[in-house]
Chains A and B, each alone.
Chain A
Amino acid sequence: MLSTDILLFACLGYVALLFAVAFIVDRRTRTNPMRWLQSPIVYTLSISVYCTSWTFYGAVGSAARNGLEFITIYLGPTLVFVGWWWLLRKLVRIGRAHRITSIADLISSRYGKSPSLAVLVTVIAVIATTPYIALQLQSVTRSYQVIAGEVDEVTTAFWVAAGMALFTILFGTRNLDANERHHGVVSAIALEAIVKLLALIAVGIFAVYGVSDGFGDIFADVPEEFIRGTEGVFGPRWVAITFLSATAIICLPRQFQVTVVENIKESHLTTASWLFPLYLFGMTLFIMPIAIVGTKVMPAGANPDLYVLTLPLAENRHELALLAFLGGFSSATSMVIVAAIAVSTMVSNHIVMPVALRLLPGDHPVSGDVRNLLLVSRRFSIAAILGLGFLYFQGSGGSDALAAIGLIAFVGVAQFLPSLVGGIFWRGATQKGALVGLIIGFVLWAYTFFLPSFGGELLLTQDVLKNGPWGIELLRPQALFGLAGMDPLVHAVFWSVGMNAMSFVLISSLTRPNDLERLQSTLFVDVYRSSGGGTSRTNVGTADSEDLFVLAQRILGTEPARRLFDEMAAQQGTDAGLPHATDAVIARLERELAGSIGAASAHAMVTRIAGQESVGITELIDIADETQELIETSRQLAEKSAELEHAAQQLRNANERLKALDAQKDEFLSQVSHELRTPMTSIRSFSDILVSDDNLSSDERDRFVAIIQNESLRLTRLLDELLDMSRLEAGTVSLELERIEVNQAVTGAIDAVSGMTRNKNVGVRVAPAAEGTLIRANDDRLRQVLINILSNAVKYNTAAMPTIRIVSTVKNDKVWIDIVDNGGGVTRAESSMIFEKFARGARADRDQGAGLGLPISRAIMRAMNGDLTIEFARDGTSFFRLSLGRVK
Chain B
Amino acid sequence: MVLLIVGASLLMPPVAGIFLLDGTVFGIPFLIFYIFAVWLALIIGAAILAKPLGRMDYRPQRNVSSDTDH
Chain A residues engaging chain B, CB cutoff 8 angstroms: 68, 71, 75, 78-86, 89, 93, 96-97, 214-217, 219-220, 222, 224, 227-228, 233-235, 238-239, 242, 265-267, 270-271, 273-274, 277-278, 281, 285, 288, 528-534, 536, 571, 584-585, 587-588
Contacts and interface: CB of A to CB of B under 8 A. Distances in A.
A83 B2 contact: yes
Contacts of B61: 97, 532-534
9 contacts: A78-B43, A79-B3, A82-B7, A97-B60, A216-B28, A219-B27, A234-B17, A270-B54, A285-B36
B4 A84 contact: yes
Interface string B27-40: 11101100110011
A68 B32 contact: yes
Contact of B36 (A86, A222, A281): A281
Contacts of A84: 1, 4
Nearest to B6: A83
Contacts of A68: 31-32, 35
B31 A79 contact: no
A236 B3 CA distance: 22
A179 to B, nearest CB: 8
A83 B2 CA distance: 7
Given A277-B42, A531-B67, 15 more contacts: A82-B4, A83-B6, A86-B1, A96-B58, A216-B24, A216-B28, A220-B27, A227-B31, A228-B20, A242-B12, A266-B57, A274-B43, A529-B69, A532-B67, A587-B64
A82 B13 contact: no
B31 A233 contact: yes
Given A83-B3, A219-B28, A265 B12 contact: no
Nearest to A235: B13
B64 A267 contact: no
Given A265-B57, A532-B61, A82 B11 contact: no
Nearest to A179: B60
A571 B32 contact: no
B57 A82 contact: no
Contacts of A219: 24, 27-29, 32
A182 B66 CA distance: 30
A278 B4 contact: no
A277 B32 contact: no
Q: Give the residue among A84, A239, A270, A277 with the most B Cβ atoms within 10 A.
A: A270
B32 A227 contact: yes
B7 A78 contact: yes
Nearest to A242: B12
B55 A277 contact: no
B26 A216 contact: yes
Contacts of A89: 56
B22 A224 contact: yes
A727 to B, nearest CB: 65
Interface of B: 1-8, 11-14, 16-17, 20, 22, 24, 26-29, 31-32, 35-36, 39-40, 42-47, 49-50, 53-58, 60-61, 63-65, 67-69
A215 B27 contact: yes
B39 A277 contact: yes
A281 B43 contact: yes
Contact of B58 (A215, A266, A571): A266
Contacts, number: 139
Contacts of B11: 75, 79, 242
B32 to A, nearest CB: 6
Contacts of A529: 69
Given A270-B50, A532-B67, A234 B7 contact: no
Contacts of A228: 20, 31
Nearest to B62: A567
B50 A238 contact: no
B4 to A, nearest CB: 2
The winner among B3, B17, B56, B60 for most chain A CB atoms within 10 A is: B60
A585 B64 CA distance: 8
A466 to B, nearest CB: 31
Contacts of A224: 22
A83 B4 contact: yes
B31 to A, nearest CB: 6
Nearest to A214: B27
A-B interface, 10 closest residue pairs, ranked by CB to CB distance from nearest = A83-B4, A216-B27, A82-B46, A274-B46, A274-B47, A532-B61, A83-B3, A270-B50, A584-B64, A234-B13
| Highest count of chain B CB atoms <10 Å: which of A81, A82, A83, A281 | A82
Given A83-B7, A222-B29, A271 B50 contact: yes
A176 to B, nearest CB: 17
A271 B20 CA distance: 33
Contacts of A235: 13
B13 A273 contact: no
Contacts of B27: 214-217, 219-220
A267 B56 contact: yes
Contacts of B3: 79, 82-83
B57 A267 contact: yes
Contact of B69 (A86, A222, A532): A532
A138 B8 CA distance: 34
A50 to B, nearest CB: 16
B29 to A, nearest CB: 6
